[in-house]
A and B are shown apart, each in its own frame.
Chain A
Amino acid sequence: MRLTFDDTVESFRSTFRAWLGENRPSEEEMTADPAVSSAHLPGWARRWTRRMFDDGWLVPGWPPERGGRDAAPVETLVYLEELERARVPRTTNPQGLGIVAPSIFEFGTEEQVSRYAMPILRGEKSACLGMSEPGAGSDLASLSTRATAEGDGFVVNGQKVWTSGASHADFCFLFCRTDPDAPKHKGISVLLVDMDTPGVTVRPLPHITKPEQTDLNEVFFTDAVVPAANLLGQLNNGWALAGASLAHERGMVWLGTVMELESTFDRLAAEAREILPRLPAFEQAHAADQIVRCYVDVQAAKCLGYRSFAKLARGGSAPEQALMKAFCSESHRRLHLVGSELHGDGGLDVWDARRGEQAWIEQYFNSFGGTISAGTSEIQRNIIAERVLGLPRG
Chain B
Amino acid sequence: MDLELSEEELELRDNVRGVLAAACPPSLVRSVFEGKDTGDALWEQMVGLYWPALALPERVGGLGRTFVDVTIVVEELGRAVAPGPYLATVTQFTPAVSELGSPEQADRFLAPVAAGETTGTLAVAEHGRWEPAAVAAVARPEGSDWVLTGSKSTVLDADTADEVVVVARATDTAGIDGLGAFVVPGDELEAFPRRVIDPTLRICDVVLDDIEVPADRVLAEPGAGGTTQALRRVLDEATVAVAASTIGACRRIFEMTLDYAKEREQFGRPIGSFQAVKHRIADLYSIVERSTALLYFAALTIAEDDPRRREAASLAKAAAGDCQRLVAEDGLQLHGGIGMTWEYDLHLLLKRAKAGEALFGTAASHRAELARSLELVAP
- Assess whether B300 is in contact with A323, with CB atoms less than 8 Å apart: no
A385→B306 contact, CB < 8 A: no
Whether A311 pairs with B4 at a CB distance below 8 angstroms is: yes
Closest to A307 in B: B3
Min Cβ gap B213→A in Å is 38
Residues of B within 8 A of A307 (CB): 3-4, 289, 292-293, 296
**Pick the contact of A389 from B258, B291, B315 — CB < 8 Å?**
B258
In the assembled complex, the Cα of A296 lies from the Cα of B285 at a distance in Å of 17
User: How far apart sit A290 and B173, CA to CA, in the bound complex (Å)?
Assistant: 34
Contact yes or no, B291 A300, CB < 8 A: yes
Q: Nearest residue in B to A318 (C-beta to C-beta)?
A: B4
> Which of B273, B294, B370, B376 makes the CB contact (< 8 A) with A276?
B376
C-alpha gap A286/B316 in the complex (Å): 21
Complexed CA–CA distance, A353 and B368 (Å): 32
Q: Which residues of B contact A293 (CB under 8 A)?
A: 367
Is B262 within 8 A of A269, CB to CB?
no
- Asked if B377 and A288 sit within 8 Å, CB to CB, the answer is yes
Evaluate contact between A292 and B291: CB separation under 8 angstroms.
Answer: no
Known contacts A3-B304, A284-B377, A394-B275; A304/B4 CB under 8 A:
no
Interface size for B (C-beta < 8 A) is: 50
Chain A residues 1-57 with CB under 8 Å of chain B are 1-5
Within 8 A of B (CB), among A275-320: 276, 284-285, 288-289, 291-293, 295-296, 299-301, 303-304, 306-307, 310-311, 314, 320
Interface string of B283-302 (1 = CB under 8 A from A): 10110011111101101110
Residues of chain A at interface, number, CB under 8 A: 46
Check if A381 sits within 8 Å of B376, measured CB to CB. Answer: no
Bound form: Cα–Cα A334–B167 in Å: 41
- Report B375 CB to chain A, min CB distance, Å: 6
- Determine if B142 is an interface residue (Cβ-Cβ < 8 Å): no
Which single member of A272, A310, A392 contacts B262 (CB below 8 Å)? Answer: A392
- The contact of A391 among B261, B370, B374, B377, by CB within 8 Å, is B261
- Chosen A-B contacts, 17 in total, with CB atoms closer than 8 Å, are A2-B2, A3-B306, A269-B376, A284-B377, A293-B367, A295-B370, A296-B315, A296-B318, A300-B291, A300-B294, A303-B290, A304-B289, A306-B293, A320-B293, A323-B285, A380-B282, A394-B273
Additional 6 contacts, C-beta under 8 A, given A307-B296, A384-B282: A1-B4, A1-B296, A3-B1, A273-B375, A389-B258, A394-B273
Q: Which positions in A face B, CB cutoff 8 Å?
A: 1-5, 269, 272-273, 276, 284-285, 288-289, 291-293, 295-296, 299-301, 303-304, 306-307, 310-311, 314, 320, 323, 326-327, 378, 380-382, 384-386, 388-394
